[in-house]
Amino acid sequence: MRMKPNCKFLLGLCSMLALGFLYYSSGRLTLRGWGHKSLYDKQGFLLKLDGKLPLELIYKYGNLSKGACKPGFAAAKMTAIYPKFTKPAPMFLDPNFKQFSKIGDYFPPFGIKSQEKILDILLLATKSYGLGEELDNLSCKRCIIIGNGGILSNKSLGQRIDEFDVVARLNEAPVKGFEKDVGSKTTMRITYPEGAIQKTERYESQSLFVLSAFKALDLRWLQHMVFSQSLRSTEGFWKSVAKHVPREPGDMRILNPYFIQEASFKLIGLPHNNGQMGRGNIPTLGAVAITMALHNCDEVAVAGFGYNMSTPHAPLHYYEKIRMSAIKESWTHNISKEKEFLLKLVKAGVIQDLTGGICSAGC
């Protein structure tokens, strides 16, 4: 006798759950399966991209005189096409790095887990964590990331490049002898041990030496460079590495690994692989640097990225003779997925591409 209401209750509960489930799954279906309802792609970028400014940005920036630096522009434009974007993420690690929660749960290259002790030592020694007073003081910063592509050759962009407040170069890309095309200013050189300039005389006399750590060993390498200790073994590196970096500790920085994490898992959409390094889930240094700039610069430009499709025999890099046809399939990077991401940024006008290589096949 007393079972009956109980049963009825359960039955009601069940059907409510079932209905709820149907409702939930149909919602997911319309969001994911039949894409015609969603305005966003899998990564969360607006599908329909064009260079037009949203109304609120026209109101904010339309009034500025032509050519004036637009405060907050890159981040505002980024948020307009990628609503998940949240700006705060410091360029370099500083002694408060443990409070930046996004990097605590990941091992290198995506975070700082298990590296806290060595980071404390390094950051205590370098003492400086910004771009320097003059640049940190600017209320509007224009940054340019110089890729190493042959597409930079013979375009005489040097002067335009030098007009940026922050010029970031990657790895061993030379300046001397190429000033006409690549400029002569270097605010920072972002690199990792295997990519760093090896000949000490080739370092420019003033620039920040910025380590982008891709493995725990890279931080131990930096420790040797910071304290000018000789490197006893190069075991664990995938090619020869710099043995000495002619820079004072105060001119050395550690790039916030959040940019590697965000570029890989969120912006480009590479395999998460349980947060560990794996096949095709490491963004190139160029993509990492652009991600850094989106968070820390008011306007962002790039040059030397991508290839000119109509000249397959042109040099791969602006400073050496290797041809583009020599490109090898990479295990670590996913160049084609990465290019899709860069294309979105250029298409929407979040970044400006001075050499036009990112959209060389159309935008």
Ligand X SMILES: *[C@@H]1O[C@H](CO)[C@@H](O)[C@H](O)[C@H]1NC(C)=O
* Shortest reach from residue 78's CB to ligand X, in Å: 22
Judged by CB under 6 A, does residue 279 bind ligand X? yes
Judged by CB under 6 A, the stretch of 27-35, 84-92, 226-234, 334-342 that binds ligand X is: 334-342
Judged by CB under 6 A, the stretch of 215-223, 239-247, 255-263, 306-314 that binds ligand X is: 306-314
Judged by CB under 6 A, does residue 276 bind ligand X? no
C-alpha 261/C-alpha 268 separation (Å) is 10
Residues touching ligand X: how many (CB under 6 A)? Answer: 20
Judged by CB under 6 A, does residue 153 bind ligand X? yes
* Shortest reach from residue 203's CB to ligand X, in Å: 24
* Shortest reach from residue 329's CB to ligand X, in Å: 7
* Shortest reach from residue 97's CB to ligand X, in Å: 24
By beta-carbon proximity to ligand X, the closer residue of 310 and 325 is 310
Secondary structure of the chain as H, E, C letters: CCHHHHHHHHHHHHHHHHHHHHHHHHHHHHHHHCHHHCCECCCCCECCCCCCCCHHHHHHHCCCCCCCCCCCHHHHHHHHHCCCCCCCCCCECCCCHHHCHHHCCCCCCCCCCCCHHHHHHHHHHHCCCCCCHHHHHCCCCEEEEECCEHHHCCCCCHHHHHCCCEEEEECCCCCCCCHHHHCCCCCEEEECCCCCCCCHHHCCCCCEEEECCCCHHHHHHHHHHHCCCCCCCCCCCCCCCCCCCCCCHHHEEEECCHHHHHHHHHHHCCCCHHHCCCCCCCCCHHHHHHHHHHHHCCEEEEECCCCCCCCCCCECECCCCCEHHHCCCCCCCCHHHHHHHHHHHHHCCCEEECCCCCCCCCC
Report the side by side order of strands in the sheet with 208-211.
252-254, 208-211, 188-191, 166-170, 142-146, 299-303, 351-353
Judged by CB under 6 A, does residue 228 bind ligand X? no
Judged by CB under 6 A, does residue 134 bind ligand X? yes
* Single-letter amino acid, residue 249: P
Judged by CB under 6 A, does residue 325 bind ligand X? no
Judged by CB under 6 A, does residue 229 bind ligand X? no
Judged by CB under 6 A, the stretch of 44-52, 76-84, 146-154, 169-177 that binds ligand X is: 146-154
By beta-carbon proximity to ligand X, the closer residue of 123 and 151 is 151
Kindly write out the interface string for residues 154-193 of this chain, putting x where it contacts ligand X by CB under 6 A and - elsewhere. x---------------------------------------
Kindly write out the interface string for residues 29-68 of this chain, putting x where it contacts ligand X by CB under 6 A and - elsewhere. ----------------------------------x-----
Judged by CB under 6 A, does residue 356 bind ligand X? yes
Residue from 48, 133, 201, 321 touching ligand X (CB under 6 A): that is 133
By beta-carbon proximity to ligand X, the closer residue of 22 and 361 is 361
Binding site for ligand X (CB under 6 A): 63, 133-134, 137, 150-151, 153-154, 279-280, 308, 310-311, 314-315, 334, 336-337, 356, 360
